[in-house]
Amino acid sequence: MKLLMSDHEITLVNDSMQEFFVRFHGPAETPFHGGVWKVHVEIPDQYPYKSPSIGFMNRIFHPNIDELSGSVCLDVINQTWSPMFDMLNIFEVFLPQLLRYPNASDPLNGEAAALLNRDAKQYDQRVREYVQRWATKEAADGAGEKADGEDEDEDDDDEEVMSEVGSIDEDDDGVGEVTL
């Protein structure tokens, strides 16, 4: 596999060539520059006739990447994959191009798409903030581990806020009312 012979840092899962992590660096001359992401790759048995599954393990702010799950919306991987493509294409062409030229009209992250459409400079600033917070070498190294803590704490805070908003009174006829 060409990817293994490239400069990309790869970590195999259970010594399997079908599941591994790639350390991906943000492309130069973009707000993603300097960022380091851990990208999970699963190669199906039908590869190269079927595309690999890829997902970012640490957070990234981008219209076509789900911030929490890391799922990537990229046509060439999801619909127009060809056996002529390989893993090197994904990490040296497809992903860098996606970060350079986001498609705000087909978003997985609506907030990122809306901000990009509304104010590109503010979008770039938010991307840089995410890079500084979530895309460091240390964040990439720890991404996907249960001991990560920071993601879990943030989610717990969200749940606490959500539970304090109000409750539904089921004694009322109809749908119920919200008591604040």
Query: For position 7, what pLDDT does the model report?
Result: 77
- Place 61 in a pLDDT band, splitting at 50, 70 and 90: very high
> Domain map of the chain by residue range?
2-179
Q: Taking each helix axis from N to C terminus, what angle separates 120-134 and 110-118, rounded to the nearest 10 degrees?
A: 140
Q: The CATH number of 2-179 is which of 3.40.50.620, 3.40.50.970, 3.10.110.10, 3.40.50.1000? A: 3.10.110.10
Residue with the larger pLDDT of the pair 142 and 4 = 142
- Place 3 in a pLDDT band, splitting at 50, 70 and 90: confident
Looking up tokens 């393990």 gives 57
- Place 140 in a pLDDT band, splitting at 50, 70 and 90: confident
Residue 76 CA to residue 97 CA, distance in Å, equals 11
158 has a pLDDT exceeding 80: no
- Place 4 in a pLDDT band, splitting at 50, 70 and 90: low
Handedness of CA 116, 120, 123, 127 (dihedral sign): positive
Active site (catalytic) residues: 73
Residue 70, number of CB atoms within 10 A of its CB = 21
